[in-house]
Amino acid sequence: MGIKSTEPATIPLSSPLLSTNNVENDEGTSSVPTILILTTLVAVFGSYVFGSAVGYSSPSQSGIMNDLNLGVAQYAIFGSILTIGAMIGAIASGRIADYTGRRVAMGFSQLFCILGWIAIAFSKVAWWLYIGRLLVGCGIGLLSYVVPVYVAEITPKNLRGAFTALHQLMICLGMSLTYLIGAYLNWRIVALIGTIPCLIQLLSLPFIPDSPRWLAKIGNMKESDSALQRLRGKNVDVYQEATEIKEYTEALQQQTESSIIGLFQIQYMKALTVGVGLMILQQFGGINGIVFYANSIFISAGLSESIGTIAMVAVKIPMTTLGVLLMDRSGRRPLLLVSAVGTCLGCFLAAISFFLQDLHKWKEASPILALVGVLVYVGSYSLGIGAIPWVIMSEV
């Protein structure tokens, strides 16, 4: 996924499109066009699908295991096979998005997700569960690339951080609502509900414009200008931004075909290290273990799973919203540092809790310590590490 996101990175890093300074022009001083807001909302429905897929396994664990007579190992396969599918989707995401366009790529991914949710909902044996989960994984792997890239390409520079961070906010909403719904409804019904946001995006895609940058890349400059004007508003002067897109495209066409080896040139090493390093930090920081098996963690700690789930939702949504609001005001680095320290502290508190349980000490305090640790971790992750790597990946 990190490799795919750097396909156009053969442009010198001094390119104005990669500048970290905001460019104030008509697009930056005028109000945000309604079409831009609606287009972004349609795109981030894919992020909601991502979140609902990730949050599905935790509240559905007991119901699936009881109904299909699955053991812990079999259910662990069901939970983890999502990430295998996501890797497959991510590997192909860059090529699919470049050849077919961002809108078509999102629609293609939703077909995978719909088929996957249906397979899960009507499964009678473990194999159908695995196939459905794998299909959903392929779909969200593609979405994980194309949604933040599309949003970054259609938004002006001064709004790009906040708008791209909506990707993580919708992942958070999808995950949180699936937690809550799954606590009260049968797992088959929850799987069928998972198809609803897929259908909403699939049916809305024909009504939104394609990415102006992608249209320029394939040579449709007239359509690119038209899409850009539609996204910025009829009365907004888009000449400067259209010129930047044209210059970027011309510079891109003068370069040779990108290759994986080309990414490891000295001039790209810093950008590559930052982009890939942040994604590794995000994915290997333990978030999947917590969100996939949150209910099991709370039960093992001696807490009610419903209390733990409600507490997670109560922390996750506000902290993600706060991260979106602070994204372009405080900067990426301060948020990342605060988020990294918080996640480290949360992991430490949760680990100490279970360590004390093993020693049979502080039995009354250890469940509270586990809850606080998980909440600190989830809140800190939502504040920065959850969203910022996606934003930086899209920008760099």
Length of the chain, please?
396
pLDDT tens readout for residues 5-15: 333 333 333 33
For the ranges 24-33, 185-194, 301-310, the maximum mean pLDDT occurs at 185-194
Q: Which tokens sit at 334?
A: 């301060």
Q: How many CA atoms lie within 13 A of 227 on its CB side?
A: 22
Q: How confident is the model at residue 388 (pLDDT cuts 50, 70, 90)?
A: confident
Between 198 and 16, the more confident residue is 198
User: Mean per-residue pLDDT for 356-383?
Assistant: 87
Q: Which pLDDT belongs to residue 77?
A: 93
Burial class (CB in 10 A: 0-12, 13-18, 19+), 386: buried
346 CB-near residues (< 8 Å, 6+ apart): 373, 374, 375, 376, 377, 378, 379, 380
Q: How confident is the model at residue 51 (pLDDT cuts 50, 70, 90)?
A: very high
Q: Which pLDDT belongs to residue 394?
A: 64
pLDDT tens readout for residues 308-337: 778 888 888 899 888 878 877 887 888 999
User: Mean per-residue pLDDT for 337-343?
Assistant: 93
Contact 327, 391 (CB under 8 A): yes
Residue (of 228, 195, 203, 226) closest to 42 by Cα position: 203
CA distance 390 to 55: 19
Q: Rounded to the nearest 10 degrees, what angle do helices 157-182 and 34-68 cross at?
A: 30
DSSP string, 355-376: HHHHTT-STTTHHHHHHHHHHH
Contact 153, 33 (CB under 8 A): no
Q: Which pLDDT belongs to residue 158?
A: 80
Contact 93, 4 (CB under 8 A): yes
User: Mean per-residue pLDDT for 182-187?
Assistant: 91
Residue 78 Cα to chain centre, angstroms: 20
Burial class (CB in 10 A: 0-12, 13-18, 19+), 359: exposed
Q: 17-21, 57-61, 170-174: which has the minimum mean pLDDT?
A: 17-21
Between 16 and 107, the more confident residue is 107
Residue 21 has pLDDT above 50, yes or no: no
User: Token match 């069901």: residue?
Assistant: 78
Torsion 103-104-108-109 (CA) sign: negative
CA distance 106 to 280: 24
SS3 61: helix
Percentages helix, strand, coil for the chain (3-state, rounded to 5) are 80, 0, 20
Q: What residue type is assigned to position 123 of the chain?
A: S
Residue 165 has pLDDT above 80, yes or no: no
User: Mean per-residue pLDDT for 40-53?
Assistant: 95
Contact 68, 129 (CB under 8 A): yes
Burial class (CB in 10 A: 0-12, 13-18, 19+), 377: buried
Q: Which pLDDT belongs to residue 312?
A: 85
Q: Which pLDDT belongs to residue 268?
A: 76
Q: Which pLDDT belongs to residue 18?
A: 31
CA distance 386 to 390: 8
Q: Which pLDDT belongs to residue 259?
A: 59
Report CA Rg, the chain: 22
Percent of the chain with pLDDT over 90: 44
User: Token match 């509270």: residue?
Assistant: 368
Q: Which pLDDT belongs to residue 257?
A: 54
CA distance 212 to 231: 9
Residue 152 has pLDDT above 70, yes or no: yes
Residue 219 has pLDDT above 50, yes or no: yes
Q: Which pLDDT belongs to residue 263?
A: 67
SS3 7: coil
The average confidence (pLDDT) of the chain is 84
